[in-house]
Amino acid sequence: MRSVEFTSASIWHGPEGHMLALNIPFQTQARDLLTKLKPEKTYVAEIKEKKGKRSLNSNNYSWLLTDKLSDVMVIRGVKLSKDEMHAEMIFRYGQVALDENGQQLTYSTAQKANLSEFYPYAKEYAESELNGKLFKHYRIYRGSHTYDSKEMAVFIAGIVEECKEQGIQTLTPSEIALMNDDWRAQR
């Protein structure tokens, strides 16, 4: 089912119960949505604020640079795969996941758990001991696919600096700014 953008909503009561009416800009969008509904089925609607997303060009560019870094960079004596390099860039320049109170999402365990099975971007940041048990503390990072344009710009800027240090050619600052301007125009 595809999503539909709307600018306002209202509620009214009819013979079938409480109805939510959405102000959808084009009749064809509303009609397309309704034609996908099947009788006798129950649906779930999720309403969330529309946020600016980074352009696909920005995302492609971040992966392109990350791939180039994985070809030349050695970190802590190890040559990383493209996915491992992407994770390293997320740990360096990405966004920490937040809980419902806006606090950094962390996880502590005394178990020998592979947190990457649950959180692909989990990084150990501390150890502590309590009652003779050693606990490892992990900070959880968000995947770059969740970044808005501002977060993606910070992410790309960090990767670009890494590339410059490795002698990898990147777009000029004005070309990167143009890429960001293209994103804003698509909003």
Q: Which string of DSSP letters, residue by residue, matches 65-89?
A: HHHHHHHH-EETTEEPPHHHHHHHH
Helix-then-strand count for the chain, H and E:
5, 7
Query: 121: which residues sit within 8 A by CB, 6+ positions away?
Result: 87, 90, 91, 94, 140, 141, 142, 143
Confidence of residue 2 (pLDDT cuts 50, 70, 90): low
Mean pLDDT for the stretch of residues 99-124 = 80
Q: What is the pTM of this model?
A: 0.64
Question: What's the whole-number average pLDDT of the chain?
Answer: 83
Return the H-helix or E-strand segment holding 26. none
* Whether the predicted pLDDT of 162 surpasses 50: yes
Q: Which of 42-46, 60-64, 94-98, 169-173 is predicted least confidently?
A: 42-46
Q: What is the pLDDT of residue 161?
A: 96
